[in-house]
Homo-oligomer: A and B are copies of this chain.
Amino acid sequence: MKLNVPAIAAEQAQTRQQLLEAAGEVFAERGFRSATVREICQRAGANIAAVNYHFGDKEKLYLEVFRYSQQKELERFPQLRKSADLPPEKQLHAFISALLQRIFNKGDASWHGLLMLREMTEPTAALDFIVAEKIRPMSEHLWEIIAELLGCRVEDDRVPRCSFSVVSQCVFYCHSRAVVERLHPDQTFDQKSLDELAEHITKFSLAGLKPFRAVKK
Protein backbone atom coordinates (compact mmCIF):
# COMPACT_ATOMS: atom_id res chain seq x y z
CA MET A 1 0.00 0.00 0.00
CA LYS A 2 3.03 2.20 0.08
CA LEU A 3 2.79 2.14 -3.66
CA ASN A 4 -0.06 4.59 -3.73
CA VAL A 5 2.22 7.54 -3.12
CA PRO A 6 3.97 7.29 -6.48
CA ALA A 7 0.60 6.47 -8.02
CA ILE A 8 -0.84 9.69 -6.67
CA ALA A 9 2.20 11.63 -7.74
CA ALA A 10 1.82 10.15 -11.21
CA GLU A 11 -1.85 11.06 -11.30
CA GLN A 12 -1.09 14.60 -10.29
CA ALA A 13 1.64 14.82 -12.90
CA GLN A 14 -0.82 13.57 -15.47
CA THR A 15 -3.41 16.19 -14.59
CA ARG A 16 -0.69 18.82 -14.75
CA GLN A 17 0.42 17.69 -18.17
CA GLN A 18 -3.13 17.53 -19.48
CA LEU A 19 -3.62 21.07 -18.27
CA LEU A 20 -0.44 22.19 -20.01
CA GLU A 21 -1.44 20.54 -23.27
CA ALA A 22 -4.96 21.93 -23.13
CA ALA A 23 -3.63 25.37 -22.21
CA GLY A 24 -1.17 25.26 -25.12
CA GLU A 25 -3.98 24.56 -27.52
CA VAL A 26 -6.38 27.12 -26.15
CA PHE A 27 -3.79 29.88 -25.75
CA ALA A 28 -2.65 29.24 -29.33
CA GLU A 29 -6.20 29.29 -30.66
CA ARG A 30 -7.51 32.27 -28.78
CA GLY A 31 -4.60 34.19 -27.33
CA PHE A 32 -3.90 34.83 -23.68
CA ARG A 33 -6.76 37.18 -22.99
CA SER A 34 -9.44 35.40 -24.94
CA ALA A 35 -8.48 32.01 -23.62
CA THR A 36 -10.61 31.11 -20.64
CA VAL A 37 -9.52 29.06 -17.71
CA ARG A 38 -12.86 27.32 -17.94
CA GLU A 39 -12.20 26.00 -21.43
CA ILE A 40 -8.68 24.93 -20.58
CA CYS A 41 -9.92 22.95 -17.61
CA GLN A 42 -12.74 21.44 -19.61
CA ARG A 43 -10.40 20.25 -22.36
CA ALA A 44 -8.05 18.87 -19.74
CA GLY A 45 -10.95 17.07 -18.11
CA ALA A 46 -10.20 18.90 -14.90
CA ASN A 47 -12.14 21.07 -12.50
CA ILE A 48 -12.38 24.82 -12.95
CA ALA A 49 -10.14 25.36 -9.96
CA ALA A 50 -7.41 23.08 -11.28
CA VAL A 51 -5.44 25.85 -12.96
CA ASN A 52 -5.23 27.88 -9.81
CA TYR A 53 -4.42 24.82 -7.80
CA HIS A 54 -1.60 23.61 -10.02
CA PHE A 55 -0.19 26.87 -11.37
CA GLY A 56 -1.37 29.67 -9.12
CA ASP A 57 -3.07 31.69 -11.79
CA LYS A 58 -3.68 32.01 -15.48
CA GLU A 59 -0.51 34.00 -16.12
CA LYS A 60 1.78 31.54 -14.37
CA LEU A 61 0.16 28.76 -16.38
CA TYR A 62 0.93 30.70 -19.55
CA LEU A 63 4.62 30.94 -18.71
CA GLU A 64 4.69 27.30 -17.71
CA VAL A 65 3.25 26.35 -21.07
CA PHE A 66 6.28 27.85 -22.79
CA ARG A 67 8.68 26.07 -20.50
CA TYR A 68 6.79 22.85 -21.18
CA SER A 69 6.80 23.51 -24.91
CA GLN A 70 10.54 24.06 -24.96
CA GLN A 71 11.14 20.91 -22.95
CA LYS A 72 8.91 18.86 -25.25
CA GLU A 73 10.64 20.24 -28.31
CA LEU A 74 14.06 19.33 -26.95
CA GLU A 75 12.80 15.79 -26.47
CA ARG A 76 11.43 15.56 -30.00
CA PHE A 77 14.17 17.42 -31.85
CA PRO A 78 17.50 16.79 -30.23
CA GLN A 79 19.50 19.98 -30.45
CA LEU A 80 20.73 20.80 -33.93
CA ARG A 81 24.48 20.33 -33.74
CA LYS A 82 27.08 21.69 -36.01
CA SER A 83 28.59 18.68 -37.71
CA ALA A 84 31.99 20.10 -38.51
CA ASP A 85 32.71 17.29 -40.89
CA LEU A 86 30.00 18.31 -43.35
CA PRO A 87 30.62 21.05 -45.89
CA PRO A 88 28.86 24.31 -44.95
CA GLU A 89 26.50 24.06 -47.93
CA LYS A 90 25.16 20.77 -46.58
CA GLN A 91 24.99 22.24 -43.10
CA LEU A 92 22.88 25.12 -44.37
CA HIS A 93 20.52 22.72 -46.09
CA ALA A 94 20.26 20.66 -42.90
CA PHE A 95 19.53 23.77 -40.87
CA ILE A 96 16.81 24.99 -43.22
CA SER A 97 15.24 21.54 -43.36
CA ALA A 98 15.23 21.22 -39.61
CA LEU A 99 13.74 24.68 -39.09
CA LEU A 100 10.93 23.98 -41.55
CA GLN A 101 10.27 20.65 -39.88
CA ARG A 102 9.90 22.37 -36.54
CA ILE A 103 7.64 25.06 -37.94
CA PHE A 104 5.30 22.68 -39.70
CA ASN A 105 5.54 20.11 -37.01
CA LYS A 106 2.14 18.50 -36.97
CA GLY A 107 0.53 16.43 -34.29
CA ASP A 108 -0.19 17.06 -30.65
CA ALA A 109 2.42 19.77 -30.48
CA SER A 110 1.13 21.87 -33.32
CA TRP A 111 0.31 24.77 -31.05
CA HIS A 112 3.95 25.53 -30.17
CA GLY A 113 4.59 27.63 -33.25
CA LEU A 114 1.29 29.46 -33.04
CA LEU A 115 2.00 30.48 -29.49
CA MET A 116 5.34 31.87 -30.53
CA LEU A 117 3.70 33.78 -33.32
CA ARG A 118 1.34 35.36 -30.84
CA GLU A 119 4.29 36.41 -28.73
CA MET A 120 5.68 38.23 -31.76
CA THR A 121 2.59 40.41 -32.05
CA GLU A 122 2.17 41.01 -28.39
CA PRO A 123 5.36 40.15 -26.52
CA THR A 124 5.18 39.15 -22.87
CA ALA A 125 7.78 37.86 -20.46
CA ALA A 126 7.47 34.53 -22.25
CA LEU A 127 9.20 35.92 -25.32
CA ASP A 128 12.36 36.67 -23.36
CA PHE A 129 12.38 33.07 -22.31
CA ILE A 130 11.86 31.82 -25.86
CA VAL A 131 14.57 34.03 -27.27
CA ALA A 132 17.06 32.99 -24.62
CA GLU A 133 16.32 29.27 -24.62
CA LYS A 134 15.36 28.57 -28.20
CA ILE A 135 16.01 31.27 -30.72
CA ARG A 136 19.43 32.48 -29.64
CA PRO A 137 21.02 29.01 -29.65
CA MET A 138 19.61 28.29 -33.11
CA SER A 139 20.64 31.70 -34.28
CA GLU A 140 24.21 31.27 -33.15
CA HIS A 141 24.41 27.95 -34.89
CA LEU A 142 23.30 29.55 -38.13
CA TRP A 143 25.80 32.38 -37.70
CA GLU A 144 28.64 29.92 -37.67
CA ILE A 145 27.45 28.32 -40.90
CA ILE A 146 26.94 31.66 -42.58
CA ALA A 147 30.32 32.96 -41.43
CA GLU A 148 31.99 29.93 -42.89
CA LEU A 149 30.12 30.36 -46.18
CA LEU A 150 31.02 34.04 -46.33
CA GLY A 151 34.59 33.34 -45.32
CA CYS A 152 34.50 35.89 -42.53
CA ARG A 153 34.40 36.01 -38.75
CA VAL A 154 31.16 35.39 -36.85
CA GLU A 155 31.28 38.94 -35.51
CA ASP A 156 31.20 40.44 -38.99
CA ASP A 157 28.29 42.80 -39.72
CA ARG A 158 27.24 40.84 -42.77
CA VAL A 159 26.55 37.69 -40.76
CA PRO A 160 23.34 38.69 -38.90
CA ARG A 161 21.85 40.37 -41.96
CA CYS A 162 22.45 37.39 -44.17
CA SER A 163 21.20 35.11 -41.41
CA PHE A 164 17.97 37.06 -41.28
CA SER A 165 17.65 36.71 -45.05
CA VAL A 166 17.87 32.96 -44.68
CA VAL A 167 15.70 32.57 -41.62
CA SER A 168 13.06 34.95 -42.90
CA GLN A 169 12.35 32.68 -45.87
CA CYS A 170 11.62 29.83 -43.46
CA VAL A 171 9.54 31.56 -40.82
CA PHE A 172 7.61 33.37 -43.53
CA TYR A 173 5.56 30.26 -44.05
CA CYS A 174 4.74 30.26 -40.37
CA HIS A 175 3.99 33.96 -39.89
CA SER A 176 2.22 34.57 -43.17
CA ARG A 177 0.64 31.18 -43.52
CA ALA A 178 -2.86 32.61 -43.48
CA VAL A 179 -1.96 34.89 -46.38
CA VAL A 180 -0.11 32.22 -48.33
CA GLU A 181 -3.09 29.92 -48.04
CA ARG A 182 -5.35 32.64 -49.41
CA LEU A 183 -3.05 33.52 -52.30
CA HIS A 184 -2.32 29.88 -53.21
CA PRO A 185 -5.14 27.75 -51.86
CA ASP A 186 -3.69 24.66 -53.51
CA GLN A 187 -0.39 24.94 -51.67
CA THR A 188 0.04 22.11 -49.19
CA PHE A 189 2.64 21.60 -46.54
CA ASP A 190 3.16 17.86 -46.59
CA GLN A 191 6.55 16.25 -46.26
CA LYS A 192 7.22 16.35 -50.02
CA SER A 193 6.40 20.05 -50.27
CA LEU A 194 8.58 20.75 -47.29
CA ASP A 195 11.53 19.00 -48.89
CA GLU A 196 11.05 20.96 -52.08
CA LEU A 197 10.74 24.14 -50.09
CA ALA A 198 13.97 23.42 -48.22
CA GLU A 199 15.61 22.77 -51.56
CA HIS A 200 14.39 26.07 -52.95
CA ILE A 201 15.38 28.17 -49.94
CA THR A 202 18.84 26.58 -49.81
CA LYS A 203 19.41 27.20 -53.50
CA PHE A 204 18.16 30.78 -53.30
CA SER A 205 20.19 31.49 -50.18
CA LEU A 206 23.48 29.99 -51.29
CA ALA A 207 23.29 32.06 -54.44
CA GLY A 208 22.14 35.09 -52.50
CA LEU A 209 25.12 34.89 -50.19
CA LYS A 210 27.66 34.93 -53.00
CA PRO A 211 27.99 38.69 -53.53
CA PHE A 212 28.62 39.08 -49.79
CA ARG A 213 31.60 36.74 -49.74
CA ALA A 214 34.84 38.13 -48.44
CA VAL A 215 37.22 38.88 -51.29
CA LYS A 216 40.01 37.56 -49.20
CA LYS A 217 39.88 35.53 -46.05
Contact = CB atoms under 8 A, between A and B. Distances in A.
B176 A31 contact: no
A47 interface: no
Interface stretch (A16-24, A67-75, A100-108, A118-126): A118-126
Interface in A15-49: 30-31, 33-34
A160 interface: yes
A200 B211 CA distance: 10
Interface string A113-145: 010011111110001100100011001000000
Interface string A41-77: 0000000000000000000000000000000000000
Nearest to A182: B131
A100 to B, nearest CB: 13
B120 A118 contact: no
Contacts of A210: 207
A182 B34 contact: no
State how many copies of this chain the complex holds.
4
A203 interface: yes
Contact of A182 (B33, B114, B128, B180): B128
A116 B211 CA distance: 33
A203 B207 contact: no
A65 B127 CA distance: 28
Contacts of A203: 211-212
11 contacts: A33-B34, A117-B175, A120-B176, A123-B178, A162-B204, A164-B173, A165-B169, A165-B204, A168-B168, A175-B176, A205-B208
Given A139-B183, A164-B180, A204-B209, 13 more contacts: A117-B175, A120-B175, A131-B179, A160-B183, A168-B169, A168-B171, A168-B176, A172-B172, A175-B176, A204-B211, A204-B212, A207-B209, A208-B208
Can you list the 7 inter-chain pairs with the closest CB atoms, starting with the nearest? A208-B208, A168-B172, A204-B208, A175-B175, A123-B178, A33-B34, A131-B182
